[in-house]
Amino acid sequence: MQDSSRRGFMGKAFGAVAAVGALGSLVAMKSSWDPLPSVKEAGFTTLDMSIYEEGVMVTEKWRGKPIFVLKKSASTMEKEKGNAAAEARNIKVGDSNFMVAIGLCTHLGCIPAFRADSNDFKCACHGGEFTASGLVQKVPPPRGFDIPPFKIEGNKLVLGEVGPEFKKMKDTGITL
């Protein structure tokens, strides 16, 4: 009896030590898969917004992801009028209006292609479509393009930093 209860105690004591060890190793293993600090620090890109031409879609790069920059023409702005969802996503730098967005389909992350003649985007992977303002035109994408964190500094746009304009978009649920 005494013997078996002593074994029982040893079993429990071992169990407790093993549980602490297992928990500790899980924490270590989880952290080993986290993005490295060097990866996180390389996360800023500055764009000079004065070089873009109207109606010409340019793809920039930020954190390894494509960033769509489209300077909107007067006719696009005209079309957006009254469409609150489109207007709320507009990014104004100086006198120019831009659509700036992460160029990955919000469905599963392919890069939609810009179609200059119809002034919209089409995703080849599962057939999703987006307007020139970045809103969904055809499912399966669940929402418009995501907008990267940005800060307007004069003629420049710093991607990766959160400025007041971006904060407002985020708080109102315009982007994630």
Partner 1 sequence: MAHFTKATSVKDWLNQRLAVDKVEKVMASEYWIPKNINFLWAMGMVLLITFSLLLCSGIFLLMYYVPTVEGAFYSVNYTIMREVGFGWLWRHIHGVAASVVFLIMYIHMFTGIYYGSYKKGREMIWLSGMLLFIAFSTEAFSGYMLPWGQMSYWAGMVITNLFAGGSLHADGLVEWIRGDYVPAQAFLGRFFMLHVVLVPVAILGLIGLHFAALRIPHVNNQDGEEIDFEAESKKYLAGDKAGSKVMRFANDFLSKDMMVVGIYLLFFFYLVFYNYGFAMDPVNFDPADGLKTPAHIYPEWYFLWSYEILRPFPIDTGLVLFGLAQGIFVALPFLDRSPNAVPASRRGLFKIWFWAMLCNMILLTSMGKLPPEGIFSQIGLVSAILFVVLWVLLPIITTFEKKL
Applying CB under 8 A, among 126, 156, 167, 168 the residue interacting with partner 1 is 126
Q: Tell me if 136 contacts ligand FES by CB under 6 A.
A: no
CB of 120 to partner 1, least distance (A): 16
In 3D space, the residue among 84, 86, 136, 83 whose CA is nearest the CA of residue 106 turns out to be: 136
Tokens of 115: 């179609």
Q: Report the DSSP beta bridge partners of residue 156.
A: 48, 153
Q: Are 162 and 151 in contact (CB under 8 A)?
A: yes
| SS3 category, 152 | strand
Q: State phi, psi for 58 to the nearest 5 degrees.
A: -120, 140
Applying CB under 8 A, among 10, 56, 74, 125 the residue interacting with partner 1 is 125
Cα–Cα distance, 76 to 54 (Å, whole number): 10
Applying CB under 8 A, among 100, 107, 133, 166 the residue interacting with partner 1 is 107
Applying CB under 8 A, among 45, 55, 58, 65 the residue interacting with partner 1 is 65
Q: Given the rule CB under 6 A, which residues bind ligand FES?
A: 105, 107-110, 123, 125-128, 140-141
Residues binding partner 1 (CB under 8 A): 30, 33-36, 39, 43, 59, 61, 63-66, 104, 107-113, 124-127, 139-142, 176
